[in-house]
């Protein structure tokens, strides 16, 4: 049954269309547009990014985020209801203090992006070592992590919350070493990700649940405390947004778009370097990533499979086509699963057709 389900998913992932924006079929972007050059620098700003640019500029000019963000939402014809439609102010303040410009070329943000990518790659090299992965697979796996984490260097999207939050979650996941009772660094890094984007909450909740399952009560308490602190911060954020919301402000459309498998694939493929590949290849590769995480018998494998499958179901249910960038929350390390996919597939095949088991 598992093999049959895998075959169905592989075929479906190759043919299900990906959509962005208002239902438009996604087309592979040009390399020049995505990775640099004069054409990339001249690319018009997306509406979301332009809103974040203005928020950063006004903070740099000395204004308070909550004094102007409602005005900026109305100016961009963006909803103020529900309150979570307004982004948390953390990244805007960090960007303003770091001198971030629209072209992303300010020294501090560039160095921060490079350091974060190096941290993600280095932490996963260390975790693969700690879990006893063979040197050959460790090298391939680290290369796959680099393939995913390199997305964090896309300066056009430096003001995008999911870009930084996803990279921070990848770092927190790599720093987490439950076998060695080393988890404080992961909690702190995940806390910063949570302060930037509330979509980090499923990761924090899962890590806390896994700690409780292992009866690591100190770690579970730390993750639980992080959730409580976030809930208090989010409540205060919603309160401040509500103070500036008018009865005439419209409610945004529902995020329950029910896009199914196409929603999951659109988010992950278009928010990763898989976007350079034809969809008939990128889609099945995404499914094989999940297979690899499922087949990796380790604490990281179990956590990764639950994490990425959980986000996958969430993307299938929630998020409109223009929210495809949510996939950046999970794509920096997701490709690591490919290194374990061949072994997982062979193991499934042997389990399904083992004569002794049939007898």
pLDDT of residue 325: 93
Domain limits, the chain: 1-44+255-359, 57-252
CA neighbor of 223 nearest in space, from 272, 267, 176, 261 = 176
Using the structure block, give the residue that is written with the tokens 């996919």. Answer: 341
CA distances from 120 to 104, 130, 189, 312 (A): 21, 15, 11, 22
**Planar angle of CA 220, 333, 224, nearest 5 degrees:** 15
Task: Copy the structure tokens of residue 112.
Answer: 């921060």
pLDDT of residue 250: 86
CA distances from 301 to 8, 192, 208, 264, 294 (A): 23, 24, 16, 20, 6
Average pLDDT of the residues in 25-31: 43
* Signed CA dihedral, 124, 126, 127, 128: sign only: positive
CA distances from 82 to 174, 209, 239 (A): 34, 28, 11
pLDDT tens track for 110-136: 999 999 999 999 999 999 999 999 999
183-189: which pairs have CB atoms within 8 A and are 24 or more residues apart? Answer: 183/211, 183/216, 183/219, 183/222, 184/222, 187/219, 187/222, 187/223, 187/226
CA neighbor of 203 nearest in space, from 95, 333, 94 = 333
Using the structure block, give the residue that is written with the tokens 């399904």. Answer: 352
CA distances from 203 to 83, 189, 307 (A): 22, 12, 7
Average pLDDT of the residues in 8-31: 68
- Residue 57 has a CB neighbour count (10 Å cut-off) of 16
pLDDT tens track for 61-83: 999 999 999 999 999 999 999 99
pLDDT of residue 162: 96
> At residue 251, what are phi and psi to the nearest 5 degrees?
-90, 135
For residue 310, cis peptide bond before it (omega within 30 degrees of 0): no
Task: Copy the structure tokens of residue 182.
Answer: 């080393």
Q: Residues in the chain, how many?
A: 359
The answer to whether residue 34 scores a pLDDT higher than 80 is no
Confidence band, pLDDT 50/70/90 cuts, at residue 20: low
pLDDT tens track for 153-176: 999 999 999 999 999 999 999 999
Average pLDDT of the residues in 20-48: 52
pLDDT tens track for 244-290: 999 999 898 888 989 999 999 999 999 999 999 998 999 999 999 99
**Do 319 and 259 form a contact (C-beta atoms < 8 A)?**
yes
pLDDT of residue 314: 96
Q: pTM of this prediction? A: 0.92
Confidence band, pLDDT 50/70/90 cuts, at residue 292: very high
């Amino acid at each position: 049954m598992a093999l049959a389900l895998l075959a169905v998913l592989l075929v479906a992932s190759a043919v299900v269309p990906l959509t962005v924006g208002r239902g438009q079929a996604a087309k592979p972007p040009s390399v020049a547009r995505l990775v640099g050059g004069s054409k990339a620098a001249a690319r018009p700003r997306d509406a979301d990014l332009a809103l974040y640019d203005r928020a950063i500029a006004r903070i740099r000019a000395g204004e308070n985020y909550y004094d102007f963000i409602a005005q900026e939402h109305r100016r961009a014809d963006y909803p103020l209801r529900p309150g979570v439609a307004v982004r948390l102010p953390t990244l805007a303040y960090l960007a303003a203090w770091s001198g971030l410009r629209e072209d992303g070329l300010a020294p501090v943000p560039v160095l921060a992006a490079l350091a974060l990518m190096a941290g993600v790659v280095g932490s996963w090299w260390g975790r693969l070592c700690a879990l006893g992965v063979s040197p050959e697979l460790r090298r391939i796996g680290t290369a796959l992590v680099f393939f995913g984490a390199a997305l964090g260097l896309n300066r056009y999207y430096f003001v995008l919350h999911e870009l930084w939050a996803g990279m921070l979650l990848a770092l927190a996941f790599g720093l987490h070493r439950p076998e060695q009772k080393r988890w404080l660094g992961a909690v702190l890094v995940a806390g910063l990700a949570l302060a930037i984007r509330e979509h980090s909450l499923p990761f924090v909740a899962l890590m806390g649940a896994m700690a409780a399952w292992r009866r690591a009560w100190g770690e579970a308490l730390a993750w639980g405390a992080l959730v409580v602190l976030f809930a208090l911060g989010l409540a205060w954020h919603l309160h401040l947004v509500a103070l500036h919301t008018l009865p005439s402000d419209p409610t945004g459309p529902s995020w329950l778009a029910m896009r199914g498998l196409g929603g999951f694939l659109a988010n992950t493929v278009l928010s990763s370097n898989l976007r350079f590949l034809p969809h008939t290849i990128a889609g099945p590769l995404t499914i094989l990533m999940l297979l690899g995480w499922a087949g990796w018998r380790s604490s990281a494998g179990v956590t990764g499979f639950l994490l990425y499958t959980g986000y996958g179901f969430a993307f299938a249910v929630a998020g409109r086509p223009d929210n495809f960038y949510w996939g950046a929350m999970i794509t920096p390390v997701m490709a690591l699963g490919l290194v374990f996919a061949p072994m997982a597939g062979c193991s499934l095949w042997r389990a399904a057709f083992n004569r002794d088991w049939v007898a």
